Amino acid sequence: MAYCKSCGAYIPDGQAVCLACGFDPASEKKPETSKPKTESSAAYQASENNEEMRRRLEEQRRRAREQNLQWADQEKRRREEQAAREAARKEQQEKARREAEAEYARRKAEQAAQQASQQSTQNEAPYGAAAGQGNKALAALSYLSILFLAPSIFAPQDKFARYHARQGMKLFIFGIVADLLAAMIGIGWVATLARLYLMYKGITNALNYRMEPLPYIGTIGDK
């Protein structure tokens, strides 16, 4: 015997639906059977959503890692390039410094050589720039007869002029002796040529600031 679960009326054998209220036990089971399916579908959907979200988060993390690695690589290259430029700049500065020091040393050496040369020249013939062209002129005039006395009068402290004055005096004495010999043996033209040559040599030395003795007679009487 079966009774209706809804109204309690008797349900004859072979009947499933209550004749009094129309309750169908089969329809009551459908919601019960459909409910797990709905819950299962919702859980599956939630699981799918979670998986999709997980994949998206993983993709975002992967992209973030790639961007970080790319940024780190760019930063590394930038620092390496900056370090290379700094090294090149320092090397260029060091090279410029060495070149400047070498140029300074070269100029100092040239100045020292010039000063030594000027000092040596002044020691040999102290006429210099302060003496001007007057000493050179007096030295050249020393080879014109009695004018060898001019340096002793006008430039007694000038060794260069006095040196050529001594050479001019030797030439003057040589001219007197040559004239006497020429008058005795009749070779006046030879004495005249010799005197002109020695005069030309002495004047050239004086004008070129050279302290060189006259040929043959320049060293006579020197110790």
Per-residue model confidence (pLDDT) at position 126: 44
Q: pLDDT tens across 39-60, in order? A: 566 776 777 778 888 888 888 8
Q: Is residue 76 part of a domain?
A: no
Q: Nearest CA to 206 among 156, 132, 146, 139?
A: 139
CB neighbourhood size of 78 (10 A): 10
Per-residue model confidence (pLDDT) at position 36: 52
Mean pLDDT (the chain) is 79
Give the span between the Cα atoms of 94 and 91, in whole angstroms. Answer: 5
pLDDT band at residue 129 using 50, 70 and 90 as cut-offs: very low
Q: pLDDT tens across 60-102, in order? A: 888 888 888 888 888 888 999 999 999 999 999 999 989 898 9
Given 62, 85, 111, the domain boundary residue is: 62
Per-residue model confidence (pLDDT) at position 204: 92
Residue range(s) defining the domain that contains residue 54: 2-62
Given 38, 62, 86, the domain boundary residue is: 62
Number of structural domains in the chain:
2
Per-residue model confidence (pLDDT) at position 167: 92
**pLDDT top residue among 119 and 137:** 137
Instruction: Say whether pLDDT at 139 is over 80.
Output: yes
Given 29, 62, 95, the domain boundary residue is: 62
Q: Nearest CA to 206 among 10, 190, 150, 175?
A: 150
Tally the C-alpha atoms within 13 A of residue 100's C-alpha that lie toward its C-beta.
6
Model pTM? 0.40
Q: Is residue 200 part of a domain?
A: yes
Average pLDDT value for residue range 144-154: 86
Instruction: Say whether pLDDT at 186 is over 50.
Output: yes
Give the span between the Cα atoms of 179 and 213, in whole angstroms. Answer: 22
